[in-house]
């Protein structure tokens, strides 16, 4: 365990930007790190050879019969390949891919700590049972995704766009006005409802343009007047001209949330099930389609967040007792085998 901890420390001290440029390893730090790494590799290689001689290579109780020993052998062989390539080919070969295998070295600690080994074996044992749960999750995602696409495909793109008077087009070209109406009160995107839908947001927005703390009430005709400048007492209410609700190319959350296809629908469903920002997605859908869309999100939270996630926990809890019992029996059998071997050696001596 001490060697594994030292190995973890040396891996954390590796600096790819500085150490990678020192090809010939001329600095004291690089030489020290290489010396420690070679000592650790030698220790693990000797440990593997001793175990192979003690248990044998193959067979029911052989070295290669256990998964963790096969992992140790793979790590040692990868380190041996790295050492040989670095020794004979030097800087002519890029060893980055092989050195990546170093990150597996801390996994050796799992085989040395019984409680950690039980947890890892628990995760591996629950994978087949969790497969059925994941299949159920897939059907839930698929059904709710199809419903979302059929009801709200493209609706989250609806925005209030301006419909300015034609005579003021020249004056408007000099102004820097947004393409879509944005609520200044909430700062959220104002997603509107088309005339044939029953959404909660209509164009124009109910909140007029604000300049400071003052409400603007002038019309756009004031742009034609000479020397007109907007101030807190005289400003144009541009919000009243955003009267046309139509689809655009923009979805909320930088285009990541929508029900335009089954893929984006699954992303939205995952966020709802994780209870991360689900209310904003529901409000957007209510704004553009119907108030009663809350039924969809409540059902999704009950089935997904409350039922499916807890079902995964039930599977893990059920398997934990079985895995703990099996690992305890295995450790007791190994202890009995070691004690019998020690007694045999003592009697021979």
pLDDT, tens digit (0-9, with 9 covering 90-100), for 71-82: 777 777 777 777
Phi, psi of 210 (to 5 degrees): -115, 140
Average pLDDT, the chain: 75
Instruction: Identify which of 241, 246, 245 has the alpha carbon closest to the alpha carbon of residue 163.
Output: 241
> Cis omega before residue 204 (within 30°)?
yes
pTM, entire model: 0.62
Pick 197 or 164 by higher pLDDT. Answer: 197
> What is the arithmetic mean of pLDDT over 40-49?
79
The stretch 170-184 carries a mean pLDDT of 61
Nearest Cα residue to 160 out of 235, 250, 278, 221: 250
Q: What was the pLDDT predicted at 55?
A: 74
Output DSSP code: residue 158.
E
Question: What are the C-alpha distances in Å from 190 to residues 200, 211, 221, 246, 253?
Answer: 11, 19, 25, 12, 12
CA distance 235 to 220: 9
Look at residue 341 and tell me whether its pLDDT is greater than 70: no
- 72-80, long-range: CB within 8 Å, 24+ apart, which pairs? 72/44, 72/47, 72/48, 72/108, 72/111, 73/48, 74/101, 74/104, 75/44, 75/101, 75/104, 75/105, 75/108, 76/41, 76/44, 76/45, 76/48, 79/41, 79/44, 79/45, 80/41, 80/45
Q: What percent of the chain has pLDDT over 70?
A: 64
Q: State the average pLDDT over residues 139-145.
A: 92
Q: What are phi and psi of 211, to 5 degrees?
A: -125, 105
Beta-carbon-side half-sphere exposure of residue 125 (alpha carbons within 13 Å): 19
Side-chain half-sphere exposure of 228, counting CA atoms within 13 A? 14
Distant-in-sequence, close-in-space partners of 349: CB < 8 Å, separation ≥ 6: none
**Per-residue confidence at 147, pLDDT binned at 50, 70, 90?**
very high
pLDDT at position 240: 76
**Between residues 6 and 248, the one the model is more confident about:** 248
* Average pLDDT over every residue of 47-56: 78
Question: pLDDT value at position 97?
Answer: 60
pLDDT of residue 6: 72
Report the pLDDT averaged over residues 280-293. 90
Q: Band of the pLDDT at 123, cuts 50, 70, 90? A: confident
Q: What pLDDT was estimated at residue 161?
A: 80
Q: What is the mean pLDDT of residues 181-190?
A: 65
Residues of the chain above pLDDT 90, percent: 12
CA distances from 286 to 152, 187, 202, 204, 295 (A): 10, 18, 12, 17, 11
pLDDT for residue 256: 85
Helices (H), the chain: 2-13, 16-19, 28-55, 67-88, 96-99, 108-112, 114-152, 169-172, 262-273, 278-288, 294-300, 309-348
Residues of the chain with CATH 1.20.120.350: 2-112
Mean pLDDT of 293-303: 93
User: In the predicted model, what is the mean pLDDT of residues 249-263?
Assistant: 87
Between the alpha carbon of residue 49 and those of residues 10, 104, 171, 331, the distances in Å are 24, 19, 85, 22
What is d(CA 269, CA 278) in angstroms, rounded to the nearest whole number? 9
Closest alpha carbon to 304 in 331, 266, 253? 266
93 or 180, which is more confident?
180
CATH topology of domain 2-112: 1.20.120
Winning range, highest mean pLDDT, from 86-100, 267-281, 310-324: 267-281
């Amino acid at each position: 365990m001490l060697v594994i901890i030292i190995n973890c420390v040396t891996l954390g001290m590796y600096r790819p930007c500085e150490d990678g440029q020192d090809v010939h390893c001329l600095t004291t730090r690089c030489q020290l790190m290489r010396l420690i790494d070679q000592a650790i590799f030698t220790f693990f290689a000797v440990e593997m050879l001793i175990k192979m001689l003690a248990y044998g290579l193959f067979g029911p109780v052989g070295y290669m019969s256990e998964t963790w020993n096969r992992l140790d052998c793979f790590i040692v062989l990868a380190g041996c390949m790295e050492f040989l390539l670095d020794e004979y080919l030097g800087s002519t070969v890029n060893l980055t891919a092989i050195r990546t295998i170093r990150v597996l070295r801390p996994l050796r600690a799992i085989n040395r700590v019984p409680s950690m080994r039980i947890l890892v074996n628990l995760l591996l044992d629950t994978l087949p049972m969790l497969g059925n749960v994941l299949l159920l999750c897939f059907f839930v995602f698929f059904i709710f995704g199809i419903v979302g696409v059929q009801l709200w495909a493209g609706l989250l793109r609806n925005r209030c766009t301006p419909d300015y008077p034609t005579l003021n087009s020249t004056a408007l070209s000099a102004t820097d006005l947004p393409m879509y109406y944005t609520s200044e009160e909430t700062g959220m995107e104002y997603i509107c409802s088309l005339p044939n839908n029953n959404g909660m947001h209509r164009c124009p927005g109910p909140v007029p343009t604000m300049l400071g703390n003052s409400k603007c009430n002038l019309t756009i005709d004031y742009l034609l007047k000479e020397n007109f400048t907007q101030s807190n007492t005289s400003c144009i209410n541009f919000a009243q001209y955003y009267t046309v609700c139509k689809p655009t190319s923009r979805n909320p959350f930088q285009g990541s949330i929508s029900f335009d296809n089954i893929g984006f629908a699954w992303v939205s469903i995952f966020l709802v099930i994780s209870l991360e920002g689900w209310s904003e997605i529901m409000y957007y859908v209510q704004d553009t389609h119907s108030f009663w869309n809350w039924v969809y999100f409540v059902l999704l939270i009950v089935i997904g967040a409350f039922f499916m996630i807890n079902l995964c926990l039930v599977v893990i809890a059920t398997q934990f007792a079985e895995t703990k019992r099996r690992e305890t029996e295995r450790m007791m059998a190994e202890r009995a085998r070691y004690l019998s071997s020690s007694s045999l050696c003592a009697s021979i001596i």
